[in-house]
Amino acid sequence: MCDVAKVQKIAHCLGVAPGNVQLNEEQVVTRTSAKQGAVAGFATILESLANESKSETAQNSKATREVEAQVYQWIEFSVLYVAPGSKDRNVAKQLLAELNKLFATKSYLVGHFITLADLAVYYAIYDLVKSLSPVDKEAYLNLSRWFDHLQNRDDIHQGEPLLNFTTIYLHGWATGTHI
Amino acid sequence: MSTGTLYTYPENFRAYKALIAAQYSGAKVKVADNFKFGETNKSAEFLKKFPSGKVPAFETAEGKYLSESNAIAYFLANEQLRGGKCPFVQAQVQQWISFADNEIVPASCALVFPLLGILPQQKNTTAKQDVEGVLAQLNQKLLNVTYLAGERITLADIIVFSSLLHLYEYVLEPTARAAFGNVNRWFLTILNQPQVQAVVKDYKLCEKALVFDPKKYAEFQAKQGGGKPQQQQKPKDEKKPKEKKEAAPKKAAEAEELDAADEALALEPKSKDPFDAMPKGTFNFDDFKRVYSNEEEAKSIPYFFEKFDAENYSIWFGEYKYSQELSKVFMSCNLITGMFQRLDKMRKQSFASVCLFGEDNNSTISGVWVWRGQELAFPLSPDWQIDYETYDWKKLDAKSEETKKLVTQYFSWSGTDKDGRKFNQGKIFK
């Protein structure tokens, strides 16, 4: 998923008009809106979207200063590491394993509620998760749970067909499978 | 928007369900002040509104009355908490509410209440295994889902969470909860929701599990008996100085939780003993058991027949049906002692001597039982029905000579079974 599409999706999630989103001549994503004029760069655009939004997710992302800082840390992480890394098989494997470990003890990336960090990483990792085979997904059950939780929210899947995690549910009650 | 008054004692996990639901919906709920457990809820005025006399109880601003915590929580919830628009998710919410009430709460109470000194320590209970079983089920479920029903927090999460609060506070120390990583993650997620934090204040996960302290229990019983619950001490010693005043309602309050706990698990022997319904007669088991333990059989067996009250008590012969399946002697003995353990609550009003005859791979089990009442005792309580159907039961005529012989033989652990196998071992149920 390219940055332009990601920004548009996240704008929809937050219930904000995306405005005019495109890549400038330096291939940096920019957003031009009536309220805030032109803004460049993925993280900055997400901040501008959150400022316009009254959604639960946007509110959560600004719950405390600490949360706010962590959210932007994850957004940067998604830009610098998740998006490029998911194109390399070995890096991707490591990335999935790390996220999977993280979600063993947490329901969301930051705090205990959905924030922009989840959205940024979700859309950054979407294509990678989509490319996984059912058996691959079984190796990342915690990550799959988080992903499946997010994709089932109307505001996030936005009409796209849901990725199939069914075999994972089968795994849940089939006895004698590997855990 | 719903408004009204909630009657409860402080820190009542059942009341939390309603209070958290109200945080989500914005319902205005006032917790009745001056509520005194054992007084307010037993007053005529309260009983007129809420005949059960139980808390939490809810009075709406329009003067309608609602009892039972799950119903109150439902009333105070919003659409999201009730499961949204999808009937399937709504049904899932109900499913988890029932799970909490039927599986978690009884297991949790059976495990935690003895540790708090509210109930006596039970030997051989399955409470710990029950709790672990429940947590394992939840853990499996929460591996694949973030919340219990649908993709939002619902009453399912709130009510299951509330039912687990005691366990995570008193029993599940870090090593004990390590096996339930998914439940831990989910529990912390729910606990840290702002709406939950607004209700469940200063909650700390267990660092070190409580252990049973007989002194604590004795104190609690003494105070209960003295009819002065106001002076009770709180079980948590470290908080004592700060909360001395609060201690009374909380302590009494926990006794109230017991009322509500599942009958089979609310193990208060006094009120729950089915034998209480039967006339006491003149035979005293305690006296007989004392004589039997301390004297030679030559004295104790005549004592038995002298004191025995055939009108109100009966003698039974029980023979194990599947003796051809018995193999090792020690296994057969375990079968007998296992049955005794499961019949623990019957002990007070019964006595038995069960003997094993023969040797490995050729043995029989039979015994003489005495209990209050004229009917077979086991159907009286669901707890007693595990083993008795594997035996053939025959009531003995207390007056006949044959019975006397049989009783003498079994009580003195001598003789042979009907096929001539020699006495091997005997077990006494007393």
Could you give the number of structural domains in chain A? 1
**Residue of A13, A112, A152 to mutate, interface with B, max B Cβ within 10 Å:** A112
Question: What CATH number is attached to the domain comprising A70?
Answer: 1.20.1050.130
Residue A179 in domain: no
- Does A160 reside within a domain? yes
Tens-level pLDDT at each residue, chain B (430 residues): 678 999 999 889 999 999 999 999 999 999 998 888 888 888 999 999 999 989 899 999 999 999 999 999 999 999 999 999 999 999 999 999 999 999 999 999 999 988 888 888 777 788 899 999 999 999 999 999 999 999 999 999 999 999 999 999 999 999 999 999 999 999 999 999 999 999 998 899 999 888 887 777 777 777 665 444 433 344 444 433 343 344 444 444 444 445 444 333 333 334 457 787 788 888 888 888 888 888 888 888 888 888 888 888 899 999 998 888 888 888 888 888 888 888 888 888 889 999 888 888 888 899 999 988 888 888 888 778 888 888 888 888 888 888 888 888 888 888 888 888 888 888 898 8
Domain at B277-429, CATH from 3.40.47.10, 3.50.50.60, 3.30.70.1010, 1.10.340.30: 3.30.70.1010
Q: The domain B3-76 is classified under which CATH number: 3.40.50.920, 3.40.50.300, 3.40.30.10, 1.10.260.40?
A: 3.40.30.10
**Could you tell me which residues of chain A have a Cβ less than 8 Å from any Cβ in chain B?**
63, 104-108, 111-113, 141-142, 144-146, 148-149, 152-153, 165, 168-169, 172-173
d(CA A109, CA A103): 8
Contact partners, residue B75, CB within 8 Å, separation at least 6? B2, B58, B66
Hunting for tokens 């946007």 — which residue is that? Answer: A58
Closest CA to B164 of B107, B118, B211: B107
Chain A: residue nearest B139 by CA? A172
Residue A94 counted as domain residue: yes
Structural domain includes residue A17:
yes
Residues A103/A112, Cβ–Cβ less than 8 Å = no
Measuring CA to CA, which residue among B151, B137, B148, B152 is closest to residue B187? B148
How far is Cα A84 from Cα A89, in angstroms, rounded to an integer?
11
Interface test with B, best of A102, A107, A108, A138 (most B CBs within 10 A): A107
Cis preceding-peptide flag for B56 (omega within 30 of 0): yes
User: Is residue A85 situated within a structural domain?
Assistant: yes
Q: Tell me what ipTM this predicted complex has.
A: 0.85
Tokens of A71: 């959210």
Contact (Cβ atoms closer than 8 angstroms) between residue B268 and residue B258: yes
Domain of A91 in residue numbering reads as 3-173
Tokens 């007669």 appear where?
B281
> Taking the model in full, what pTM does it have?
0.64
- Domain boundaries defined on chain B: 3-76, 277-429
User: What are the phi and psi torsion angles at B56 (to 5°)?
Assistant: -70, 150
